[in-house]
Structure 1
């Protein structure tokens, strides 16, 4: 890349506009680099080199250049990415702007934000963590919203601060959902799918399970994804990454054998169960609790 464009790229989080490129390259050279896949379009009229990862700060700057705004702030899921508690991948870039707009990969929100609710994260203006978590708690589907709030608490966001923030969102869509989920959130959840599984249990009318339940057995300390200590019932989220293959069996079987020896009953939930058939695990657990009472 020629020096003039390198300087602009480095000042702009790794992106540059077609107009800027044409100050250093002919139109034919620009088209050749795009056709060969060396330069990749981020948003209309804005590009990055294929070797430059599309990090959230880069995408926010690309949105600013594409729209032609003097400044731009990340919000919603993109803000959560920057704060480190996003639970959804491959989402459109969310930014704040003067006029609402939506394309396939860019959403401009016309939200009222107090300047005190903005901060810089790695050089990018972004809604602060409390405002970001509250916005997502209001607007995401319930399972994703709880997973986000759990992750936000785990990252250090205060439940009290979240509750105070959502109180300011009067008459805004999803405020009631956010207030409910903030009360249910738990920073002990270690993955988004554990959070979603927990909410399925609660929505099925089961007593709220305890995340990352610790159990002492004769073989040492064991942890269960979710559990009901009173009835010695555990629920494990069976992810394809962790609970699969020969190594997983060697790791999990002795652990569960010791739990069974100590009188525990362990149930399992897959992603398909959590998203589509929660009764596959909630109904047997309900039956086991009723039988134990």
Structure 2
């Protein structure tokens, strides 16, 4: 009897071994074997059975393994130059399964329902770049959308400072506005729209700035308006908008809610702000109660050396200011289109400062972005330079 049982067990073992030999091998795309350990497509350990004398048992030890991911050519998927990929467009060409797989693997992230962007690209993008991706995502779903407000300003290439909302602003197709799924539709008169070189539709630069001034903070709006009005000192590039155009657009849409805010921005706007830091500095100087400075004050340099232009000047108090901080030499020169050698710029700017001090006998105050943004450090710098607080200032 024992001999019969042993023989029967041996027979079953042989059958199991034969079945195992005939079984198809696993695809290398699904698992990689290292001894008795398999690896799933996401790199999870999957213990495989050992067959020994017909007895099946699981391996108890895991050996070092490597993660396998499906290789997908995401760049060939239909999408926009900003890296935006649409599930609908992928489905139309029969490749929606690739997009689903890429999302499951974490290769793409959803920035709107059905709209994706490369995860690495999104992770390394700045706040402004991410907002541009959101705008492009809306354009993917709404091909005829006309962007307005801050969204149009970004498309026009204007600097963004102090913007807290990530909403995308468009003109409403109907007679009423609404907020839904990160999109704000406005129905107020916004002037003519234009097709930009990037393929987006946006309101004109003047209409865009009036809407921003009406709806956003003084700092955000004034930074954009200053940038639009500025005429670089070096090069032949002109302003992208004029004060007359802004005033004409403002009068064309009156009356509108927020008209006092628009008037406050236009009153403070200038063609002399070379950088967003200079605009931020002016706003902070006003908030802190300091006297208003003269902008780009021209000082004649000695020995026929031409003129020096000071960012901020308070002649009556014997103080001038430079909003550059540690980047005082190279930063502003590069932004203004100056292409001189870096070492030469440093020497020239150092000599310029010495000459201004020798001619005027004024104190020089310098600050950077962080000091201006935090306000309190800027206050200390200006007081130390000898500038008095003359008013209560404006509330932030």
TM-score (norm 1): 0.76
Say if 2:261 is the partner of 1:177. Answer: yes
Say if 2:88 is the partner of 1:19. Answer: yes
Please say if residues 188 and 212 of structure 1, whose CA atoms lie closer than 8 Å, have aligned partners that are also in contact: yes
Within 2, Cα distance between the matches of 1:133 and 1:210? Answer: 25
Match of 1:101 among 161, 179, 190: 179
Please say if residues 150 and 169 of structure 2, whose CA atoms lie closer than 8 Å, have aligned partners that are also in contact: no
**Change over 3 Å in CA distance of 1:139–1:280 after alignment to 2:** farther
Cα distance, 1:212 vs. partner?
2.5
1:210 aligns to what?
294
**214-223 or 260-269, which moves further after superposition?**
214-223
Q: 1:90-139 deviations in whole A, cap 9, x for unaligned?
A: 86252314552255xx432323235x421111221101100111122222
What value does the CA root-mean-square deviation take over the aligned residues? 3.6
Within 2, Cα distance between the matches of 1:89 and 1:273? Answer: 15
Aligned residue-pair number: 277
Match of 1:237 among 310, 314, 323: 323
Within 2, Cα distance between the matches of 1:288 and 1:60? Answer: 43
Please say if residues 134 and 168 of structure 2, whose CA atoms lie closer than 8 Å, have aligned partners that are also in contact: no
Within 2, Cα distance between the matches of 1:102 and 1:187? Answer: 37
Q: 1:190-247 deviations in whole A, cap 9, x for unaligned?
A: 1111012123334455443232223222273323221134554211114454479xx8
Q: Secondary structure at the match of 1:149?
A: helix
Q: Where in structure 1 are there 5+ consecutive unaligned residues?
A: none
**17-26 or 192-201, which moves further after superposition?**
17-26
2:192 aligns to what?
117
Match of 1:62 among 134, 137, 157: 137
1:84 aligns to what?
157
**Change over 3 Å in CA distance of 1:117–1:55 after alignment to 2:** farther
Q: Which has the higher helix share?
A: 1
Q: Secondary structure at the match of 1:16?
A: strand
Cα distance, 1:152 vs. partner?
1.6
Bigger-Rg structure (1/2): 2
Within 2, Cα distance between the matches of 1:14 and 1:250? Answer: 43
Q: Secondary structure at the match of 2:296?
A: strand
Please say if residues 16 and 48 of structure 1, whose CA atoms lie closer than 8 Å, have aligned partners that are also in contact: yes
Within 2, Cα distance between the matches of 1:179 and 1:241? Answer: 33
Within 2, Cα distance between the matches of 1:55 and 1:273? Answer: 26
Please say if residues 317 and 387 of structure 2, whose CA atoms lie closer than 8 Å, have aligned partners that are also in contact: no
**Change over 3 Å in CA distance of 1:280–1:142 after alignment to 2:** farther
Cα distance, 1:43 vs. partner?
1.9
1:223 aligns to what?
309
1:267 aligns to what?
365
Say if 2:199 is the partner of 1:129. Answer: no
Cα distance, 1:165 vs. partner?
2.6
Match of 2:380 among 260, 280, 283: 280
2:112 aligns to what?
43
**Change over 3 Å in CA distance of 1:201–1:2 after alignment to 2:** closer
Q: Secondary structure at the match of 2:273?
A: coil
Please say if residues 73 and 126 of structure 1, whose CA atoms lie closer than 8 Å, have aligned partners that are also in contact: yes
Within 1, Cα distance between the matches of 2:216 and 2:327? Answer: 25
Cα distance, 1:186 vs. partner?
1.0
